[in-house]
Amino acid sequence: MRIVNVGYGRVGARTARVLAEEGHEVVVVDNDHTKVERARERGLAVIEGDGSDPETLRQAGVEDADAVGAITGDPQLNFEICMEASEAGDCRTVMRVSEEFRGEIYDEFERAVDEIVYPERLGAAGAKTAMLGGDFNAIGDLTEQLQLVTVSVDDASPVIGAHVSDLSVDGGRVYAHGRRREPLTIPLPGTAIEPGDRLAVLAETERVPDVRRRLLGEG
């Protein structure tokens, strides 16, 4: 995938590195010269400039991008970046927000972009997964034997109605849950799974296909 990564702070740098290591074509955008030089030293393609400026995004190749991740530390700026990206091309838009964004403001953001992420909770792996999209994503190798995966539960999932705490997943364990408009948290004992919910699962690497079948009912 071709990804424009706007923001090269702590979260942005780690997100760009993980994506590049997985073979994706990453272009970093930042207006801080020191960060720009740091990204270049690490072998990344970089455009120095304001990520909310249409010309800067054009130089970064937004028209041909599969995804644009607006992951600066400023949620309002991230929203503007996503809006400009949507105008410029047909790409997936992901914006970083902070915990205080709730209610009507959150709803406005959610309607306008493809996905909202809280990197303070999930880190760079969560931002990376949001940009790649899909219902089932391996977002990090914890060891050679363990992976962290996220699942978006659809209407056809065989686990709809099951309590998260009672869910049996051979080869994996659900450790976090979130409703459609909420961040992932440790689930309460009586939490039942609904369509649109998201699950974070710690899975044995060789059993990841089994975990997928259990949670989504597909190969």
Q: What is the CATH number of the domain that holds 207?
A: 3.30.70.1450
Q: How many domains is the chain partitioned into structurally?
A: 2
pLDDT in tens, 188-213: 778 899 999 988 888 887 888 888 88
Residue 36 has pLDDT above 90, yes or no: yes
- Domain boundaries, position 28: 2-132
Those residues whose C-beta lies under 8 Å from the C-beta of residue 164, and which sit 6 or more positions away, are 174, 177, 187, 191, 192, 193, 199
Residue 63 has pLDDT above 60, yes or no: yes
More confident of the two residues 216 and 32: 32
pLDDT in tens, 110-123: 678 887 776 554 45
pTM: 0.59
Q: Which residue has the tokens 């659900």?
A: 174
Q: What is the mean pLDDT of the chain?
A: 82
Q: Are 159 and 185 contained in the same domain?
A: yes
Q: How far apart are CA 80 and CA 86, in angstroms?
A: 10
Confidence of residue 139 (pLDDT cuts 50, 70, 90): very low
Question: Of 96, 92, 85, 95, which Cα lies nearest the Cα of 132?
Answer: 92
